[in-house]
Structure 1
Amino acid sequence: MKTALTFIIVFGVIVIIHEFGHFFFAKRAGILVREFAIGMGPKIYGHQGKDGTTYTLRLLPIGGYVRMAGMGEDETELAPGMPISLVQNDEGKITKINTSKKVQLPNGIPMELVEFDLEDQLTISGYVNGDESHLETYQVLHDATIIEQDGTEVRIAPRDVQFQSAKLWERMLTNFAGPMNNFILAIILFIVFTFIQGGTAVLDTNGIGRVVENGAAAQAGLKENDKILQVDGEKINSWEELTTIITKNPEKKLNFEIQRGQETFEKTVVPEAEKEGDQTVGKLGIYAPMDDSFSAIITGGFTMTLDNSLAIFKALGSLIVHPDINKLGGPVAMFQMSSQAAEQGVTTVILLMAVLSINLGIFNLLPIPALDGGKLVLNIIEGVRGKPLSQEKEGILTLIGFGLLMVLMVLVTWNDIQRFFF
């Protein structure tokens, strides 16, 4: 239960923050966000806000999504011959269109739909009360709503509030905002992580921070604030130099030259042997000094975000040069990592969430149709050409990209299942 809850929180937060980026900048650009959903699958609860967006809670607590008017994933199923009902205002204009069998409108006008234009002309036509001898046409209000077949009520999407009606730079910012929010979330989480751990490690020093009780350093008499001047005659100026020597010498006697205050003396230290993967490495049981200043904590959050981003780009490069599905992980791998993080405590969960947030941000910026990066590429092509690709071509590219992603997701998930359960 703890693992499942951790997985839901970690995955849910990073996806919802991602989608909120799209939502916020779409609103700023005048694009109608028809639905902001928390979770996936069947709707549990829905409420339409005054801003025109319907906020829904859905059954499966994994992530969420936004439906922007005019985007490929925004479809309302209306078809000739469909039985619907209409609600009029006092002026005779349509304020609500009901396509759902789950919802009954007491004052609704029953109609068999013949044709409609809810983008430009804002009209809807059909046979009222089964009278096929007369075709009735009604004017639809700009802010009218439509009740979809699952009972979700959303605004219709006239042309002027659709995604393509916004300026190019506004659409580019809306597409980029999701990954951008993931990077911002990672920075905030890394700042919190840095604060919890007491600051950032100072690595350009030979000073000792906390000493682990009963560790090799403690047994040799080393103390916090000591400075390690030399190890076996080799000068030590940084933690990288110290770590390199210690790691290579498990269970070997090393001669340390130590400075404590104004006193300088020598100590024999034997690093403990510890397994790391297939290797045995030396450990002293000491930590680097910590800088707990406000500026260090803030800077640490940015630095950790940058370091992790570079590591992910390096891993992507390795994946391209040497393709291997074992280098990828899907929801099953995320669940496994959530399990390990839950066992290690809140700090590890925060660290995991930050790393996964960066992963999601970078992954979505890949120039693949159906991802935010692919949409940005189409925006750039539009800027160069002076006009967008046709909706048919863009739809085909998006469909191809989506298909490839689904195939990859199935392969990765199946590979994860085999790795972790067989």
Structure 2
Amino acid sequence: MSIWTIIIALIVFGVIVIVHEMGHFFTAKFFGVTVHEFAVGMGPKIFSKTKNETDYSVRALPLGGYIRMEGEDEGSEDPNGFNNKHPLKRMAIIFAGPFMNFIFAFLLFSMLYMMVGVPVNTVGGLIEGMPAIRSELQEGDRIISIEGTRTSSWTDVTDTIGASEDEILTFEVQRESQTLMIDVETVREGGRTAIGISPKYERAPGISISYGFKQTVGMLKDMLTFLGQLFTGRSESEGVVGPIGIISAVGDAARTGFANVLFLAAVISLNLGLINLLPIPALDGSRIIFQFIELVRGKKIDPEKEGTIHLIGMALLLLLMVFVTYKDILRIFN
């Protein structure tokens, strides 16, 4: 593992953590909460600067970050203390961190699609040895419908072809100013129907944003499914990685191009946001639950007792991180 791999990974992870903490920070400031420190990293300070009552610091261990608010885990009489704000405001401050990770992932995916383009319902190429190359289809043909089924996206094209069981499919295509009907033979590959065409890629802000949103939502659904299977024992924990695993993955992505680094950064950001919403002590999800309980009870929870629970949760999470890191090292050497 080269020094450049580690540097790139730390930059990626650092930016994602800063985005997360910015969500907490700006929402806290919006609701008038006193923020004592905005820290990137853990452990001893290596740099700090104080401005408008907040100490902005960089710490030695690049393992996360945090903001330290007045009255967050202890009692405070300050009206600008976190624990003296309405529970709904506190919930908003806590949720803003993961939410910013989701927004950041969406922006990265949209930027990625602007760079590489989005597959559209236009023939970009014909594959050698497949039926389409023997048909009258040509590169640049826009596919309007297949067997009467409208196709407004490349996903519509592949889904319609793949689900068909016909030996011949009739394509309605637009070629310049002409509308043509073209019959194409099919073959079966991997249990699906295929004809052997590839898409044309277009770069446009509107469609890139749309695909960025779909990618974000789709990947969140996949992550939720994986977490559900993990907790129910229907999935192996081999897919879980720690800091060393992330550094290794970012290094692999960096060797194959900037676009892959963007993609992986978006995935890590989504993971960070989602994991933080789990109801585990010390994570944002658990803190939101405490605020919700107070909202329902109409009575404050002792912030010192809550802080103790989160402290125990943090210790357990650090032990889990050590275990996962050990597994990462074994995986790399194996």
| TM-score in terms of structure 1 length | 0.65
Contact 1:25 1:173 (C-alpha < 8 Å) held by counterparts: yes
Match of 1:209 in 2: 123
Q: Could you tell me whether the CA contact under 8 Å between 1:176 and 1:372 is conserved in 2?
A: yes
Conserved in 2, the CA contact under 8 Å of 1:182 and 1:357? yes
Say which of 296, 309, 312 aligns to 2:220: 309
Following superposition of structure 1 onto structure 2, how do residues 11-26 of structure 1 map, counting pairs within 5 Å? 11-26=13-28
Q: Does 1:224 align with 2:226?
A: no
Aligned-partner Cα distance in 2 for 1:27–1:236:
50
Specify the SS of the correspondent of 2:125: coil
Q: Judging by fraction of residues, say which structure has more helix.
A: 2
Give the corresponding residue for 1:57.
58
Which amino acid is 2:242 matched to?
G
Aligned-pair RMSD on alpha carbons?
Answer: 3.6
Q: Counterpart of 2:66 in structure 1: which amino acid?
A: Y
Aligned residue in 2 for 1:240: 158
Match of 1:71 in 2: 72
Per the TM alignment, residue 213 of structure 1 is displaced from its structure 2 partner at its CA by: 8.4
Unpaired runs of at least 5, structure 2: none
Cα displacement (A) at 1:31: 1.9
* C-alpha spacing 1:399/1:59, structure 2 compared with 1 (3 Å): closer
Q: Does 1:36 align with 2:32?
A: no
Instruction: State how many pairs are aligned.
Output: 320
Separation in 1, partners of 2:126, 2:6:
33
Distance 1:2 1:211 in 2: 38
Query: d(CA) in 2 for partners of 1:163 and 1:236?
Result: 54
1:319 corresponds in structure 2 to: 230
- Rg bigger for which structure? 1
- In the alignment, structure 1 residue 338 sits paired with structure 2 residue 255: no
In structure 1, how many angstroms separate the alpha carbons of the residues matched to 2:288 and 2:108?
27
Deviations 1:156-212 (A, max 9, x none): xx63332212222221111111011111111211221121122x434xxxx443227
Find out whether 1:414 has 2:312 as its counterpart.
no
1:385 aligned to 297, 302, 314, which one?
Answer: 297
1:341-360 alignment to 2 at 5 Å?
341-360=253-272
SS of equivalent residue, structure 2 residue 199: coil
Partner letter of residue 78 of structure 2? R
2:103 to 184, 193, 200: 184
| Greater shift in the superposed pair: 412-421 or 345-354 | 412-421
Paired AA for residue 88 in structure 2: W
SS at match of 2:312: helix
Q: For the Cα contact (< 8 Å) 1:325–1:412, is it kept in 2?
A: no
Structure 1 pair 262–386 and aligned structure 2 pair: CA distance change class (3 A): closer
Matched residue of 2:42: which SS? strand
SS of 2:123's partner is: coil
User: Of 163, 167, 170, which aligns to 2:86?
Assistant: 167
Displacement of 1:220:
5.3
- Please tell me whether the aligned partners of residues 217 and 286 of structure 1 are also in contact (alpha carbons under 8 angstroms): no
Q: Is the 8 A contact 2:46 2:59 kept in 1?
A: yes
Q: Whose relative contact order is higher, 1 or 2, with alpha carbons under 8 Å and at least 6 apart?
A: 2
Q: Contact (CA 8 Å) 2:83, 2:303: kept in 1 or not?
A: no
Q: Is residue 14–residue 182 contact of structure 1 (8 Å, CA) maintained in 2?
A: yes
Residues 246-305 of structure 1: per-residue CA shift (max 9 Å, x gap):
9x9xxxxx877666655556667889x99xxxx9x9894612564x44432222222221
The one-letter amino acid of 2:326's match is W
Contact 2:279 2:285 in 1 (8 A): yes
Which amino acid is 1:347 matched to? A
C-alpha distance 241-188 of structure 1, shift in aligned 2 (>3 A): closer
Contact 2:132 2:195 in 1 (8 A): no
The whole-number CA distance in structure 2 between the counterparts of 1:216 and 1:420 is 40
Measure, in 2, the Cα distance between the counterparts of 1:220 and 1:60. Answer: 60
Q: Tell me which amino acid in the other structure corresponds to 1:314.
A: T
Counterpart in 1 of 2:308? Answer: 396
Over 3 Å counting, the alpha-carbon distance change for 1:229 and 1:337 in structure 2 is same
Give 2:284's match in structure 1, choosing from 364, 372, 375: 372
- For 1:84-103, list aligned pairs within 5 A: none
3-state secondary structure, aligned to 1:209: strand
Equivalent in the alignment of 1:4: 6
Taking structure 2 as the reference length, what is the TM-score of the superposition?
Answer: 0.80
CA contact (8 A) 2:169 2:184 kept: yes
Q: In percent, how many aligned pairs have the same letter?
A: 36
